[in-house]
Structure 1
Amino acid sequence: MSDGMFRTVSSVRRGYDPDEVDEFFSHARSMYEQGPAGGLSGKDVRRVSFSMIRGGYVTAAVDAALDRLEAAFVARSRADFVAQRGQEAWLAHLGEQARTLYGRLGRPDGDRFAPPEGRQPGYEPADVDELCHRLVAYFDTGAPLTAAEVRNATFRSRSGKSGYDEASVDAFFGRAVEVLLGVE
């Protein structure tokens, strides 16, 4: 256990640096409670990363807290937007965000994303394409899909030019999470 915000792993295992995590969560709390609107966004929370050290915080616990924090910032952003412009404007905004995803979703399986550059690792296209199919079903027919399911999706590795570039895939599904959180 730790005196910090989260449990720690044993001293022989690696976890997130407690000082970095505590500092970020303290800053996020301050921004949420008193900071300027937009001072920190759900996207900022999703993009944060921490160093790994021996005896650090349990990563799963921190990641779960980050997911909840991201959802809180998205909900706050939605409430501010609706208060200023109305619910219909919010839905139009979400619709526009969703439409930005459709160009890639409409591509054929195996061609949705560029391959990784050089010797960089990539994702298995079939795994990524399967999640893309679920997004299409969500948007087109209302099939069930949550932001957590997209956020927690894992893809097998695929090396070489037959894989999908990880950064592109991650950025795309990050935007999809924003849309889904905006609806939830």
Structure 2
Amino acid sequence: MSEAVSAVQGASASGFVDVAEAGLVGMVTIRGDLGDSDFAHAVWSVTHCGLPKKRGIAAGESDQLLWMSPDELLLVCAHEEAEARVQALSAALSGQHHLVVNVSDARAVFRVSGSGSAVREAMAKVTPADLRPRILGVGEVRRTRMAQVPAAICFDGEDQATIVCFRSVGTYVFDLLVRSSKPGSEVGHF
């Protein structure tokens, strides 16, 4: 079996913000009735995360759960643990309507970091999402587009954002972020 490699193999670049691929990240899509207490308990029994609120993130000991839609969560864990999480979640959710899929190798993850409002400046040039802090705050997730492709954005802090996209468009998203962060291209919106 071949060894897993990330979408752009750890590429990074610096402009008025820094753009870096996060490397291999474990990601498991979990679908089901988020309002069902049995569902919530089963997910907690494996992840040790409570269910996040709408557009929120819940952190456990080593995992994170991101709210992706009214019936979908994204579990973020160590890449090498993703398949074990799928097996454990499938067993815990047995008898309930659910879907649990390891999507780790189908996704790419990037981090954009910089000072002040620079991260929001760089990102706002390539997404139609409203990135004002009062609209998309720290610790919230937003599904949107990055230019022509779907992506999810999360602000981990005012100085760092995480972007998740399909692996097949990883190079496109990386290049897009690098171009949007060229020194001297700040627009002063935030």
| TM-score where L is the length of structure 1 | 0.27
Higher RCO by CA contacts (8 Å cutoff, separation 6 or greater):
2
Report the structure, 1 or 2, having the larger helix content. Answer: 1
| TM-score where L is the length of structure 2 | 0.26
Report the structure, 1 or 2, having the larger strand content. Answer: 2
